Amino acid sequence: MRKKAGACCLMIVAIPFLWGACAGETFVDARLKLPCDTTDDCPSGEYEDGTECINDYCECPNPDEEACCEPGAAFNECERKCRPAAECHVDLCTTAEDCTGPVDSRCGNAQCVGGVCRLKMTKALVQLVGDCKSRICDPAGRIVYQDNPGDVFNDSNECTVDTCVGSEIANIPIPAGRAPESISYCDGAGKRVECIDDESCLDPAILCSPRGRCVPSSCKNGVKDTVWDETAIDCGGLCDPCPVGVACESDSDCVEHKCGSNKKCTAPECYDGIKNASETDVDCGSPSCPPCGPELKCHAHDDCGSGVCTDGKCQAPSCNDGVQNDRETDIDCGGTCPSCPLYLNTGADERP
């Protein structure tokens, strides 16, 4: 099967006219032919131009016609149609002033090259890695977002499958069983545990606790066994830690790692100096706690003050991370970054 141009190029939405830049190309214009496998790959619907897939390219079925803009049409109002070849070879411009550029100058600028209005591409738009979206330029030269199923977020968890559902990040738990990368187990809810059943512990005197730990069998007998330092029935000491409100002797006896002065496990707080609840690092990274700083652990972009989580760690803000952060006035520009280019829209990307 013939590869589409989008597989080897940076393609920027091609209808009603084509803007794009492949390796080695500086300019592109509306006369470029679109590669195809079938006629279904050629412009159709609202943007139908009358072409059919002939010899792997979208061509006009009448050999005396070509798909091009209407003579004299402004660059950003180009409507490709099969027209007499003589019309397609009429010069569209004499200087750059005859061409209308993109709405957003970050998409490039219009120039007159060989009598044809073309877009001179700027460098590729910076992308936020792992947000299931790509920033592209639409036909009017606005920066918009489109779904990118290949831009998955790596949550650094071997017990999940990283994927995208539309433009949404998804980290789907794998079924309960052996972990794929370690000697541990996956509990079926996306957590790595020591065991998933009593047989996993390989000793009849050792059982698998509700929290997936191999513990003495007495931890599941419904009795407070002080010989194993249980602080309540089947919890504390060598057993699973106890929930909030239950008796404890030390922080390690509690699920939230907090044993209060009243010797009872207490609720977590964002400023208790302990990594607990849904925090990804100490006192940060959960929906109810502040975002984390650089190099602290994270499970999602929103866990980080910079809005960038890579391989489980928050990244420091930078001028090329695809996110508006720090003192930037737009994505990767303004503030301590290079000045933002001039453009005619509001300055905000068209987000999905």
Cα 42 to Cα 15, 16, 81: the distances in Å are 10, 12, 12
Is-contact 68 45, C-beta < 8 A? no
SS3 per residue for the chain? CCCCHHHCCEEECCCCCCEEECCCCCEECCCCCCECCCHHHCCCHHHCCCCEEECCEEECCCCCEEEECCCCCCHHHCCCEEEEHHHHCCCCCCCHHHCCCCCEHHHCEEEEECCEEEEECCCCCCCCCCCCEEEEECCCCCEEEEECCCCCCCCCCCCEEEEEECCEEEEEECCCEECCCCCCEECCCCCEECCCCHHHHCCCCEEECCCCCEEEHHHHCCCCCHHHCCCECCECCCCCCECCCCECCCHHHECCCCECCCCEECCCCCCCCCCCCCCCECCECCCCCCCECCCCECCCHHHECCCCEECCEECCCCCCCCCCCCCCCECCECCCCCCCCCECCCCCCECC
Is-contact 277 256, C-beta < 8 A? yes
Is-contact 331 322, C-beta < 8 A? yes
In this prediction the pTM is 0.65
Tell me the pLDDT of the chain (352 aa) as tens digits: 332 233 333 333 333 333 333 333 334 444 456 778 898 888 887 778 889 999 888 889 998 888 877 766 654 456 778 888 777 766 567 787 777 666 677 777 777 877 766 667 666 788 899 999 998 877 566 788 899 999 999 998 999 999 999 999 999 999 999 999 999 999 999 999 999 999 999 999 999 999 999 999 999 999 999 888 999 999 999 999 999 999 999 999 999 999 999 999 999 999 999 999 999 999 999 888 999 999 999 999 999 999 999 989 999 999 999 999 999 998 888 888 888 876 544 344 554 5
Is-contact 216 205, C-beta < 8 A? yes
The answer to whether the bond into 139 is cis (omega within 30° of 0) is no
Is-contact 152 52, C-beta < 8 A? no
